[in-house]
Amino acid sequence: MSEIKKLGFGLMRLPKKGFHTDIEQVKEMVDLFMAAGFTYFDTAFVYGSSEEDIKQALVDRYPRGRYTLTTKLNAFMMAGSEQAAKSQFYKSLERTGAGYFDYYLLHALMTNNYTKYDKYHIWDFVKEQKAKGLIKNFGFSYHADPELLDKLLTIHPEEDFVQLQINYADWENPSVASRGNYEVARKHNKPIVIMEPVKGGALANPPKKVQKLFKEYNPDASFASWAIRFAASLDGVLTVLSGMSTTEQMRDNISFMKDFRPLNDEEQEIIRKAQRIMGSSAAIPCTACRYCVSGCPKKIDIPAIFSAANRHLGNGQTAQAIEAYKQATANGGLASDCIGCKQCERACPQHLPITKHLKDCAALLEK
């Protein structure tokens, strides 16, 4: 496995122009990324138009050997049968026009869905595609406990890498288990791709006490830089994905990752202080992956509501929280509309008690 620079471009949250992807801005971001020497692009079959977007912005514009393209097969969303699940691979090849995938993942394995990949024989299927040269490296992305991760990596030692949610705020969070899962992957000697290093953007705007802590040490460093550098400083990391949505975010990330410098001892101690502060935060730890939204029978924009609530819960901005909630629910889908079916909780990689949080949000914000 060749060495890759430690910043990857996550393609889940691409910039929008109206309801569609702003392809011209994506092209600009791709060009900045490539010019700085970065090559790793991460998409997925279920990321809306992301695969087609990256075809226009990258695949059609750069020689195939210049970039590293990753996508994913999801056996529990948009896959009601083995045939439907496997067809995602061929559809992804068609959408991207890439010819092959440098890295390919079984997507978002969790306690309540990992058996689908066995039932549909997906492990063997991706090995077959690797033997054909259509996949160079394969692994899986993961959102569950260290015990299951250890089991999966023991049963499937052929996996080339694993993708884990790791950030300083969730390092000791039992529902995410960043540290525990990291240690299991290291025990199995698997290279690690890190997702959600900025926790869906939440760590780009951490609690005020954390902001003060970071600014006192380095007033010029962005808050996101602390989060990404923490993740990239860990041993065994192949690359760290950042779901960049603007050219400004791209420029900022390149500024501190082009010539990556791991956190020094003083900075590591500051991160530990931030972790202690974050441990007492009441903010809802939603990463805005939006897996909860598509099946909601009441069409509730759950991540937008949680983001509004966190303005109050995490930063004490009550008036701003209420205004953000009004905007998030302008077309309907109030928190109080929740009927408690819990399909959202079954889809949530963070294992959040979403229905409880929605009830709390209704009480807090519906004024």
Does the pLDDT of residue 61 top 90, yes or no?
Answer: yes
At 150 the pLDDT is: 98
Q: How confident is the model at residue 185 (pLDDT cuts 50, 70, 90)?
A: very high
83's enclosing H/E stretch is helix 82-96
For residues 348 and 143, the answer to whether their CB atoms sit within 8 Å is no
The region that residue 97 occupies, defined by phi over 0 for left and psi between -120 and 50 for alpha, beta otherwise, is left
Residue 140 has pLDDT above 70, yes or no: yes
Quick one: pLDDT band at residue 300, thresholds 50, 70, 90?
very high
How far does Cα 33 stand from its chain's mean position?
18
Q: What whole-number percentage of the chain has pLDDT above 70?
A: 99
- The model's pLDDT over 24-33, given as tens digits with 9 standing for 90+, comes to 999 999 999 9
Sign of the C-alpha dihedral computed for residues 225, 323, 47 and 18 taken in this order = negative
pLDDT for 123: 98
Taking 80 as the threshold, does the pLDDT of residue 227 lie above it? yes
- What pLDDT, on the 0 to 100 scale, is given for residue 367? 78
Domains of the chain: which residue ranges? 8-278, 302-365
What is the reported pLDDT for 1? 61
Structure-model confidence comparison of residues 161 and 285, the more confident one:
161
Residues in the chain: 367
Q: Residue 282: pLDDT band by 50, 70, 90 thresholds?
A: confident
Residue 2 confidence (pLDDT) above 70: no
Question: Tell me, what's the pLDDT at 316?
Answer: 80
Q: What is the mean pLDDT of residues 174-185?
A: 94
Q: Residue 74: pLDDT band by 50, 70, 90 thresholds?
A: very high
| pLDDT given for residue 23 in this prediction | 98
The predicted structure's pLDDT at residue 296: 95
Average pLDDT over all residues of the chain: 95
Is the model's pLDDT at 224 over the cut of 70? yes
Quote the CA–CA distance of 108 and 106 in Å, as a whole number. Answer: 7
User: What is the reported pLDDT for 49?
Assistant: 97
Residue 190 pLDDT greater than 90, yes or no: yes
Whole-angstrom distance, CA of residue 66 vs CA of residue 164: 25
Backbone angles phi, psi at 159, to 5 degrees: -60, 135
**Which CATH code fits 8-278?**
3.20.20.100
Distance CA 12, CA 318 (A): 29
The region of weakest confidence among 109-123, 160-174, 269-283 is 269-283
Count the Cβ atoms, other than its own, within 10 Å of residue 52: 17
Q: What is the pLDDT of residues 79-130, one digit of tens each?
A: 889 999 999 999 999 999 999 999 999 999 999 999 999 999 999 999 999 9
